[in-house]
């Protein structure tokens, strides 16, 4: 599906389709991401970049935890970011998260003029090509502080898996080139 081009109507947002679009576990998954990051040393004063922030499933928890202005997010879909900002955040959270800390682009442009202590790409590398994965890493590297930490989820394949092989992940076929 056209991830970056999907635009959510008010009715679709009211039905929660912006939540479903980013995957399941809306009520639990974002909090688990925060808990994991805190267990890895994330502290309120750190600057954090959410690569693939979507409709702010984790962002709403991170905005509460981090000092105001320390959460940043990028996603390929502007409509998702908009739905998350307008419908998932409280007024208090929007005061803590300037809209300028969110950016829609499909080239992993996370240069907000600051350096990040932590970054996360949750379920991004499972949906992009190998070249986009590499682009993300190249673009993110100069944005991180010395010793900064970047976490990402991905599907692991045996080294013998051919780049053009189709594998089953559960019941769903995946091209290994797109899900390296």
How many alpha carbons lie under 13 Å from residue 174 in its C-beta half-sphere? 21
* CA dihedral sign of residues 72, 78, 81, 86: positive
Q: What is the structure's pLDDT at 45?
A: 98
Rounded CA-CA distance 10/85 in Å is 14
Query: Which residues in 128-159 are b (16+ Cβ under 10 Å) and which e?
Result: beeebbeebeebbeebbeeebbbebeeeebee
Q: What is the pLDDT of residues 132-166, one digit of tens each?
A: 889 999 999 999 999 999 999 987 777 887 777 77
Q: What is the structure's pLDDT at 35?
A: 98
pLDDT at residue 65 above 90? Answer: yes
pLDDT > 70: percent of the chain: 96
- DSSP letter, residue 12: H
Rounded CA-CA distance 123/125 in Å is 6
* Residue 62 and residue 71 in contact, taking contact as beta carbons nearer than 8 Å: yes
Q: What is the pLDDT of residues 7-48, one digit of tens each?
A: 999 999 999 999 999 988 899 999 999 999 999 999 999 999
* Residue 7 and residue 17 in contact, taking contact as beta carbons nearer than 8 Å: no
Q: What is the pLDDT of residues 16-26, one digit of tens each?
A: 999 999 988 89
Q: What is the pLDDT of residues 78-106, one digit of tens each?
A: 999 999 999 999 999 999 999 999 999 99
Query: What is 103-143 written as a DSSP string?
Result: EE-SS----SSS-EEEEEETTSTTSS-HHHHHHHHHHHGGG
Rounded CA-CA distance 129/178 in Å is 4
């Amino acid at each position: 599906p056209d991830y970056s081009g999907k635009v959510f109507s008010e009715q679709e947002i009211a039905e929660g389709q912006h939540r479903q679009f980013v995957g399941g576990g809306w009520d639990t998954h974002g909090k688990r991401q925060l808990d994991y990051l805190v267990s890895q040393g994330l502290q309120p004063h750190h600057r954090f970049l959410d690569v693939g922030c979507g409709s702010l499933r984790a962002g709403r928890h991170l905005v509460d935890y981090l000092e105001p202005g320390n959460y940043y997010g990028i996603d390929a879909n502007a409509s998702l970011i908009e739905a998350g900002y307008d419908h998932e955040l409280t007024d208090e959270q929007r005061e803590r998260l300037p809209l300028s800390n969110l950016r829609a682009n499909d080239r992993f442009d996370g240069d907000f003029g600051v350096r990040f202590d932590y970054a996360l790409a949750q379920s991004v590398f499972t949906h992009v090509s190998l070249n986009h994965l590499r682009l993300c890493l190249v673009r993110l590297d100069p944005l991180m502080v010395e010793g900064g930490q970047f976490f990402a989820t991905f599907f692991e394949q045996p080294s013998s898996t051919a780049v053009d092989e189709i594998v089953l992940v559960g019941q769903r076929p995946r091209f290994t080139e797109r899900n390296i």
